[in-house]
Amino acid sequence: MATISMGKRRRFYSITTKSDRMTPLIRIVAWTAAAFLLFLQQNRIILLQHQEQQDEQLSTVTVSNKTAPETETTEHQMKKPRIYQWPDISTDDVQNLTRSWWKPTILSRPKDWWYVHSYNLYQEGLLYVKTPKAASSTMAGITLRIAHRHGKDIPQEEVQESSSSSDKKVSHERIPETTINPCNSRQYHGLSYDYIDRNHTQSFLFATIRDPAQRAISDVFYRRSNQQLEYNETQILETLQEGVFLLSHRLTHIKVQGYQLAYLTMREKEEDNHDVDDDDKDEEEPSIDVSQLSRETTKQHIADVLNEYDFLLLVERMDESLVVLQFLLDLDTDDLLHIYSKSAGNYAMLIVKETCHRIQPPIVSDTTMRYLSSSDWHNRHYGDYLLHAAINASLDRTIADIGPERFQKALATFRQRMVLAQERCQAHAYFPCSSSGENQLKLSEESCYNRDWGCGYPCLDRLSESNSH
């Protein structure tokens, strides 16, 4: 889904005539045509409004000519294409990496695939790699919705026994009273190499990827919001240039040209990284100029990722990606419904302190924008940009294999249901923090699967039930 931002502008079609040269009939026809064109344009705006509300999918980045405080009114939106090519990313490279995810093996899996009795959270079931600031909370909620709607009823004591023996690092979502057991799923900010030994016939591995610059800016501001730090453009620029966490994140065990590529790679940890003393965990690793790494090696990493994953969703085309997921897993449209989560300028909860803090809307100076458009930035993130382009092309190929007419019909249905879901359930979705920053954690526990994931699901379930009747 390439979101088209209409801003505050609307086109008004007008016809200027000279009354002494136009008959009343022609004048009526002319004004009727103008009114009809205006009607079409206004309805186009309405149909696109729900797409513009998705923060993590397409966060708004604004530009100012000076360092601005958090409350300052921004000057203008960043004019940056959502999906684009850098000169040194060749069409041949993209085409060589492009694949179609449409394959019968996914649809022919056994009926009991949704539930795995061993409850092995590492190797079976729905495995979502939660890439930070790439629609991760939204996708985690959708993953849990799929899991709960396709779970099988089993004795409650079996669920409790299997859950208690699971890895302590995994945070289990709350199981609603109306759902005895969700299908097996895992979603957290962990790295994909945990799934290197997954059972390919009993699992579905997927992840989301976002434009590298948009993701990085969103990550920087979200982290600063979490740390309750004031906006400092100089520090933000330095963070982007040094890549303190973008390129040398202590979780990313392998150094490649791109944060997301490192996050999604299926290669195992280097042996000397397996055992790390607690005192050394936060020590900065030796710096490495990733821009000088072999691009052929980077291309091989990308090919490995595309071949290992069952599907990769593109944040900038989230609606289309979700509908492809619907076809791949043979889902119902309502399995994918969700209420829009954290938007720039809203509030999020610090889990440890259980306090709400405001998410700073990204404000980027012209200097930072120039850096994000520089060859230095691109070279450091070459792998992410090529991966992004390959996924975009792969999405097109998959849609072509599904059948354009069949796909467009399903996409239109999904978007209609999403508009209805926002209208009916937005007011009944209680996130841990209210829109004014008040703590409503207790209320959210009855509305969300876990944290701020899948909030509003009881209302969405009622909406689905009414539709089935």
Q: Say which range, 38-52, 68-82, 415-429, has the weakest mean pLDDT.
A: 68-82
**pLDDT tens-digit map of 67-108:** 333 333 333 333 343 455 566 788 999 999 999 998 754 544
230: CATH = 3.40.50
Tell me the chain's radius of gyration from C-alpha atoms: 24
Residue with tokens 């530009």: 63
Pairing of strands 125-129, 203-209: parallel
Q: What is the reported pLDDT for 415?
A: 98
Edge-to-edge strands, sheet with 203-209 = 185-188, 125-129, 203-209, 311-314
Element (H, E) at 376: helix 375-380
Evaluate whether residue 441 is within a structural domain: no
Evaluate whether residue 445 is within a structural domain: no
Q: Distance between CA 135 and CA 309 in Å, rounded?
A: 18
Evaluate whether residue 130 is within a structural domain: yes
Evaluate whether residue 110 is within a structural domain: yes
Domain count along the chain: 1
Q: What is the DSSP letter of 66?
A: S
pLDDT of 36 above 80: no
What is the pLDDT averaged over residues 393-398?
A: 97
Evaluate whether residue 18 is within a structural domain: no
Q: Name which residue leads in pLDDT, 317 or 182.
A: 317
Evaluate whether residue 43 is within a structural domain: no
pTM above 0.85, yes or no: no
Residue 302 near residue 386 (C-beta atoms within 8 A) = yes
**pLDDT tens-digit map of 193-221:** 668 788 888 889 999 999 999 999 888 88
Q: What is the reported pLDDT for 203?
A: 87
Structure tokens at 1: 């889904």
Evaluate whether residue 197 is within a structural domain: yes
Edge-to-edge strands, sheet with 62-64 = 76-77, 62-64, 363-365
Structural domain including 393 reads 54-269+286-408
Spell 144-173 as b/e; 16+ CB within 10 A means b: bbbbbbbbeeeeeeebeebeeeeeeeeeeb
What is the pLDDT averaged over residues 446-453?
A: 90
Evaluate whether residue 49 is within a structural domain: no
Q: For residue 430, what pLDDT band results from cuts at 50, 70 and 90?
A: very high
What is the pLDDT averaged over residues 103-126?
A: 53
